A and B are shown apart, each in its own frame.
Chain A
Amino acid sequence: MISIRLQGIEKSYGTTPVLQGIDLEIESGELFFLLGPSGCGKSTLLRIIAGFLPATGGRVFFGDDDVTRLAPERRDAGMVFQSYALWPHMTVFQNVAFGLEIRKLGKAEIERQVMETLGFVGLEKLRDRPIPQLSGGQQQRVALARALVIQPRVLLLDEPLSNLDAKLRLDMRAEIRRICKEAGLTTLYVTHDQKEALSMADRLAVLDNGILQQVGAPRDVYRRPINAFVADFIGESNFVTGRISRREGAAAEIESPWGILHSTTVADSLAPGDPCLVCIRPESIRFAANGESLPNTLTMTLRHATYLGEIGQWGLEIHGQHLKAFEMQPPTRTVDQEYRCSIAPADAIVIPADTTTAAASQSTS
């Protein structure tokens, strides 16, 4: 097991920067996710790590080994391509055996290892199938087996589930996590699907416009997004601007157009007088029972109601601003009626306002 370390990776095409000063350490044995919208540079970063693209600046380390200038064929980094890139002129067995043949293993040994790996992904029976006759999910497993069989130093997965249908994608999430963990591999998994990342990752990084926005465990990134981009990209968020009026430890009072809001989840950098942004997840907005008096109780008007079975998706209006709210086991609610709603202080996430503008301007540039 070995770590992946990126030091100041830069990449630009002409004068267009694609990656800007990426520093990142992926610990050995970790299942690490690189998450970002399309065009954010995540696949570029993966290709730099695999060696298919030269970085404009910076270094890539596998453990203590500087692989920045190493040819891709000498990096020992197993990769699963988004398209799978399974060679259509070879069978399942031949695809998987290729890497071992390159490593000049004996015939019997290749046979043994390939079958073992195919067993690992549950495809022993399909060993002699031509690639075009496999389903999407089977192809996915062959691609994984082909990368695993060479016992790579690190495993790189480029949107491996994006070509599968929704149901299969859910099954494969657990399967890939099991395989990576059992093989004890340091894995970098690139995706734009935040649900995939939240459900599978040990840790994840959010990349936008070539800059790492936030790195952390899924729960931390979801609960404590560092800026508006992350808050909006990982899950959904409602925002209200405000100013810190009082601060005590992690708690603070915020003056906002909706009135005074209380929060116990406040970014460390914020001091009284600082402009800020309060970020409220749709599921954090609770409809208050009659006579209940909780902090942050506000009167809102229900404007839209969408019934989705297990949840109700409500469109609420307060002071001309529209909010989204989710409610489990939704009762019948009347449109254009006023409701008293509350937000627990722990769920009112307060982030600095300037990072918002930075992130916002980046995402539009």
Chain B
Amino acid sequence: MKWTRVLTVVFIIAFFALFMFLPLYTVIAEGLRWAYIVEVFKSPFYVQGLINCFYIGVVVTILVFLIAVPLAFIADRYDFAGKKWVTGMMLLPMILPPFVGALGFTQIFGKMGALNSLLTALQIVPDGGGPDWLAGNGRFFVVCLVEALHLYPILYLNTSTALGNIDPSLEEAAQNLGSSAWMRFRRITLPLIRPGLFAGCIIVFIWSLTELGTPLMLGYNRVTPVQIFNGVTELGSNPLPYALVFILLVVAAGLYIVSRMLFGQEGHAMLLKGAGTGGSSRLSGWKSLGAFLPFLVVTLIATLPHLGVVLLSFSRDWYRTVLPSVFTLDHYAMALSHADVVRSIRNSLIYSGTAMFVCVAFGVAIALLTVRWKPRGWQIFDILSMMPLAIPGIILAFGYLSMTTRYEILSRIMNPIENPTLLLILAYAMRRLPYVVRAASAGLQQTPIDFEHAALNLGASGWTALRRITVPLITANLIAGALFAFAFSMLEVSDSLILAQTNEHYPITRAIYELSMILGFGPYVACAFGVWAMLFLATTIFVATRLLGRKIGAMFRF
């Protein structure tokens, strides 16, 4: 057992060294060149990109804060009819890829789109005379809106967990001492949830700052991630994207470190506790409806882009009307018969399926290491395994790309232009590893060590105890974690867009992007394909939630 443990540690370290630190190092080594950085800041084109994505980050974080925090408070403080249902729906946007939703928004907000048609129908604007919502700053705000509607569950979960972890007696004690509601909030509640709030905001900010799929699909091209993506193919003649990635990395890492330094300890302690209940008061009648409605409205708005996608996918023609004029199933048939589509499904299944197994193997190993074996310095592995959450996908993907060009030996084994399979699998696995680690760790923490001791006591070896007792007991967690890893890999955007460069190796998301670029029927087929993908994702997530029970929230906490 001792040697197995040493070997496990070696494998884990090698995995992180090769597929997290080496790409990051490459990004730094290639990007940290003074000349490049100066060049970037001299170019108004790139500076504008950086400013724009910074603005996106700020606006999205504010929007998310405004949506998520009040709702988290309502859910924590009050019980009302349908609460379980609407609070469950709050997680829905997590599983609706904004990348696909953006397709829907393009239609809805287009000059001849559904919104203007609605306004025309209501006789607010003349036919064909509605504003182009996507022109000027409109496109910027639509990007922000789509991202905010995708990311608010993160802050919602962080806030509700932080609130749930507050022992109600802490506030009761303040009340008992005569403190008013506002005073209690300011002096007791807010300081206690601040780490959770802050951590959630930081993650939302980093995610929106580095998001590639949404601005790309909405055609908002003057942001750094899209500029990086567009530069990937001509890195030989223009190395500036290296510097851009480096700058993004510095910003993301800087923010992450600041948040850890400010709230690291407390924020982490929160992870281990389960969300508690208590201290909520029951609402009825109009008050109950008043608490229910905001949830419903937010959920409806959040699903709007995807409803748009669904409608688009069924429509033969959707132009100058509120709803499509003619419905058809042709796009679905086409989506599943198109050669590129079929191949991309096969590719995605291979990439994501293999990534899932890699994730489970490393996830279980890391969970065992950090929950059970706890060798000296085990905390490092805990931090390591959560790091992929803080590293934006575009940075890691770009790191993979540049490491295969920088090191000849790597370019021979895993050249993304010849065959990106291995790189994509590893990128997917690395990015989704935290979910599996978390699921497996939660399982181990809930399984008393005595179960394993009892097996050892009866003469079972450590390995047998693991195989016969521990693994069966945490199977539900493992399956759930694996499904998450699988489902999110299937709809992974930045890795797929950057690493898959040839037609025959496109995964689903890249295929959707390529389809949407085809004029005419392209967007419709892309939508139909997107609906297939969402159905698939929804089913997987549904099964996973069933297996995980109410621990689902724990998967998305940071």
* Interfacial chain B residues near A98, Cβ < 8 Å: 455, 458, 460, 468
Smallest CB-CB separation from A75: which chain B residue?
Answer: B457
Interface status of A78 (Cβ within 8 A of chain B): yes
Q: A98-B468, A102-B464 are in contact. Are A85 and B450 (CB under 8 A)?
A: yes
Cβ–Cβ contact A77 & B457, under 8 A: yes
Partner of A99 from the list B459, B461, B462, B473 (CB cut-off 8 Å) is B459
Cβ–Cβ contact A102 & B473, under 8 A: no
* Interfacial chain A residues near B459, Cβ < 8 Å: 73-74, 76, 99, 102-103, 150
Cβ–Cβ contact B473 & A88, under 8 A: yes
* Interfacial chain B residues near A88, Cβ < 8 Å: 473
A73 to B460, CA, bound (A): 6
Residues of A16-66 at the interface with B, using a CB-CB cut-off of 8 Å, are 50-52
A87 to B475, CA, bound (A): 14
Partner of A81 from the list B453, B472, B473 (CB cut-off 8 Å) is B453
A205 to B523, CA, bound (A): 81
Count of interface residues, chain A, beta-carbon cutoff 8 Å: 27
Partner of A85 from the list B451, B460, B462 (CB cut-off 8 Å) is B451
Q: At the interface, is chain B mostly helix, strand, loop or mixed?
A: helix
A98 to B473, CA, bound (A): 15
What does the 1/0 interface line of B514-538 toward A look like (CB < 8 Å)? 0000000000000000000000000
Partner of B461 from the list A73, A75, A79, A82 (CB cut-off 8 Å) is A73
* Interfacial chain A residues near B458, Cβ < 8 Å: 73, 78, 98-99, 102, 146-147, 150
* Interfacial chain B residues near A74, Cβ < 8 Å: 459
Smallest CB-CB separation from A103: which chain B residue?
Answer: B459
Cβ–Cβ contact B472 & A73, under 8 A: no
Q: A87-B473, A98-B468 are in contact. Are A81 and B460 (CB under 8 A)?
A: no
Smallest CB-CB separation from B461: which chain A residue?
Answer: A73
* Interfacial chain B residues near A85, Cβ < 8 Å: 448, 450-451, 453-454
* Interfacial chain A residues near B451, Cβ < 8 Å: 85, 87
Q: A102-B464, A146-B458, A150-B459 are in contact. Are A83 and B448 (CB under 8 A)?
A: yes
A52 to B473, CA, bound (A): 21
Interface status of A107 (Cβ within 8 A of chain B): no
* Interfacial chain A residues near B473, Cβ < 8 Å: 87-89
Partner of A72 from the list B450, B453, B468, B472 (CB cut-off 8 Å) is B453
Cβ–Cβ contact B450 & A83, under 8 A: yes
B434 to chain A, nearest CB (A): 27
Interface status of B469 (Cβ within 8 A of chain A): yes
A130 to chain B, nearest CB (A): 13
Interface status of B250 (Cβ within 8 A of chain A): no
* Interfacial chain A residues near B468, Cβ < 8 Å: 98
B462 to chain A, nearest CB (A): 8
* Interfacial chain B residues near A82, Cβ < 8 Å: 450
Q: A87-B469, A98-B468 are in contact. Are A72 and B454 (CB under 8 A)?
A: no
Cβ–Cβ contact B455 & A52, under 8 A: no
Interface status of B413 (Cβ within 8 A of chain A): no
A171 to B464, CA, bound (A): 36
Partner of A73 from the list B448, B450, B457, B469 (CB cut-off 8 Å) is B457
Partner of B457 from the list A78, A83, A89, A103 (CB cut-off 8 Å) is A78
Interface status of B181 (Cβ within 8 A of chain A): no
Smallest CB-CB separation from B452: which chain A residue?
Answer: A85
Q: At the interface, is chain A mostly helix, strand, loop or mixed?
A: loop
Cβ–Cβ contact A50 & B448, under 8 A: no
A184 to B468, CA, bound (A): 31
Residues of B426-446 at the interface with A, using a CB-CB cut-off of 8 Å, are none
A151 to B448, CA, bound (A): 25
Cβ–Cβ contact B457 & A102, under 8 A: no
A87 to B469, CA, bound (A): 7
A145 to B52, CA, bound (A): 70
Cβ–Cβ contact B454 & A146, under 8 A: yes
Cβ–Cβ contact B457 & A79, under 8 A: yes
A164 to chain B, nearest CB (A): 17
Interface status of B456 (Cβ within 8 A of chain A): yes
* Interfacial chain A residues near B462, Cβ < 8 Å: 73
* Interfacial chain A residues near B456, Cβ < 8 Å: 51-52, 71-73
B97 to chain A, nearest CB (A): 36
Q: Which of B457, B465, B468, B472 has the most CB of A within 10 A?
A: B457
Smallest CB-CB separation from B454: which chain A residue?
Answer: A85
A130 to B462, CA, bound (A): 24
* Interfacial chain B residues near A89, Cβ < 8 Å: 472-473
A6 to B473, CA, bound (A): 36
Smallest CB-CB separation from A79: which chain B residue?
Answer: B457
B290 to chain A, nearest CB (A): 42
Q: A83-B448, A87-B473 are in contact. Are A50 and B464 (CB under 8 A)?
A: no
Q: A83-B448, A85-B450 are in contact. Are A50 and B460 (CB under 8 A)?
A: no
Q: Which of A74, A75, A87 has the most CB of B within 10 A?
A: A87
A200 to chain B, nearest CB (A): 22
Smallest CB-CB separation from B465: which chain A residue?
Answer: A73
Smallest CB-CB separation from B473: which chain A residue?
Answer: A89
* Interfacial chain B residues near A71, Cβ < 8 Å: 456
Smallest CB-CB separation from B462: which chain A residue?
Answer: A73
What does the 1/0 interface line of A138-156 toward B look like (CB < 8 Å)? 0000000011001000000
Cβ–Cβ contact B453 & A52, under 8 A: yes
What does the 1/0 interface line of B466-505 toward A look like (CB < 8 Å)? 0011001100000000000000000000000000000000
Partner of A79 from the list B454, B464, B465 (CB cut-off 8 Å) is B454
* Interfacial chain B residues near A73, Cβ < 8 Å: 456-462, 465
Q: Which of A74, A82, A99, A103 has the most CB of B within 10 A?
A: A99
A67 to chain B, nearest CB (A): 13
B303 to chain A, nearest CB (A): 38
Cβ–Cβ contact B464 & A81, under 8 A: no
Cβ–Cβ contact B454 & A87, under 8 A: yes
* Interfacial chain A residues near B465, Cβ < 8 Å: 73
A171 to B450, CA, bound (A): 26
Residues of B76-130 at the interface with A, using a CB-CB cut-off of 8 Å, are none
Smallest CB-CB separation from B451: which chain A residue?
Answer: A85
Q: Which of B451, B454, B460, B472 has the most CB of A within 10 A?
A: B454
A88 to B472, CA, bound (A): 10
A83 to B462, CA, bound (A): 21
A193 to B444, CA, bound (A): 32
* Interfacial chain A residues near B460, Cβ < 8 Å: 73, 98-99, 102
* Interfacial chain B residues near A77, Cβ < 8 Å: 457
Cβ–Cβ contact A72 & B469, under 8 A: no
A83 to B449, CA, bound (A): 11
A50 to chain B, nearest CB (A): 6
A86 to B460, CA, bound (A): 15
Cβ–Cβ contact B455 & A81, under 8 A: no
A50 to B453, CA, bound (A): 9
What does the 1/0 interface line of A263-303 toward B look like (CB < 8 Å)? 00000000000000000000000000000000000000000
A272 to B450, CA, bound (A): 54
Smallest CB-CB separation from A52: which chain B residue?
Answer: B453
A147 to B459, CA, bound (A): 11
Residues of B37-68 at the interface with A, using a CB-CB cut-off of 8 Å, are none
Smallest CB-CB separation from B455: which chain A residue?
Answer: A98
Q: Which of B448, B456, B460, B468 has the most CB of A within 10 A?
A: B456
A137 to B456, CA, bound (A): 24
A83 to B452, CA, bound (A): 12
Known A52-B456, A74-B459, A88-B473; further 9 A-B contacts with Cβ < 8 A: A72-B456, A73-B458, A73-B465, A81-B450, A81-B453, A85-B448, A85-B450, A85-B454, A147-B457
30 A-B pairs with C-beta separation under 8 A: A52-B456, A72-B453, A73-B458, A73-B459, A73-B460, A73-B462, A73-B465, A74-B459, A75-B457, A77-B457, A78-B457, A81-B450, A81-B453, A83-B450, A85-B451, A85-B453, A85-B454, A87-B451, A87-B469, A88-B473, A89-B472, A89-B473, A98-B455, A98-B458, A99-B458, A99-B459, A102-B458, A102-B464, A103-B459, A150-B458
Q: Which 10 A-B pairs have the closest CB atoms?
A: A99-B458, A85-B450, A85-B454, A72-B456, A79-B457, A73-B456, A102-B459, A81-B450, A89-B472, A102-B460
Q: Residues of A with Cβ closer than 8 Å to B? A: 50-52, 71-79, 81-83, 85-89, 98-99, 102-103, 146-147, 150
